Structure 1
Amino acid sequence: MKDLGPLKYFLGIEVARSSAGLFLCQRKYTLDVISETGLLGAKPSGFPIEQNHKVGLAKGEFLADPESYRRLVGRLIYLAVTRPDLAYSVHILSQFMQAPRVEHWEAALRVVRYLKGTAGRGILLSADYDLTLEGWCDSDWAACPITRRSLTVFCRGQI
């Protein structure tokens, strides 16, 4: 066994330490995803998925190469480890891994364009936090066009 010093990079996750706590991000991994999709020169998107999207109701052509979609969504799933802002978009996109359509591919590329403008974002694990997990989202009664279920939630808990 060899001591390599303080952790700085592990499995694509960059770790920065300070008195405020630990900052985890995947900037290099994000740039690799953007580069792999060929969107380095694309205009960034302000948000990862459109509000009131109809991705679940897509009726377009099936992708000729579904493997590229699966690879991209798989990379986005791993990226969501340090990017909670991607959780909803990646959840929606991962529902169509079996038979992705052109609309699904375009929605995935929009997420990548969003990443282009937010490559350095991550999670700060604060040194002086009381470990209360909170989350919220506006209510959207029956917004899922497939199941007619609500897609939002509020939760609060003590860890």
Structure 2
Amino acid sequence: MQGNVVLNGTKSGGLWGWDLHRPAGAVLDIHMLSDCRRAVVQRSNGELRVVDLRTSKPVVELMPGAAKRYLPNLRCAIDKYESVVVAGGDARRPLAVNSFNLQDGRCVSSLEVQLKSGHYGTRYENTPEIWALSRNELYICSGRVDK
């Protein structure tokens, strides 16, 4: 076999192609938007895009992927108005939770994640903060319990 591209024809007449020299990361999370024409796709290389499902082409690039990078736990969440997407860090801010405008890809906020708790000098200083991102919510728990 020679060449860089693999093509696959479908029964419905579609043609799918892959460039073997520029493999994309595995799809980790996908959210279909309400117009049923676009989807937000998160890949294991950090790439986050809005893709037009009719053309299979990106409409908005929110975060570029990084070569030779594998982040199997990345996920993203979209607000109920489909105006903002929240996702894990990118190549410039690997320890951040970033929010992007879905229409133009503009970063509207970036929150740096601390590896240690902010409770220095207390008995909670070695308690890590826990961040959880669901489809619609961002939860932050410091592990501190006031008595």
Q: Normalized per residue, which structure has more helix?
A: 1
Bigger radius of gyration, 1 or 2? 2
Query: Which structure exhibits the higher relative contact order, with contacts defined as CA atoms closer than 8 Å and separated by 6 or more residues?
Result: 1
Question: Quick check: TM above 0.5?
Answer: no
TM bracket (short chain): under 0.3
TM-score by length of 1: 0.22
TM-score by length of 2: 0.23
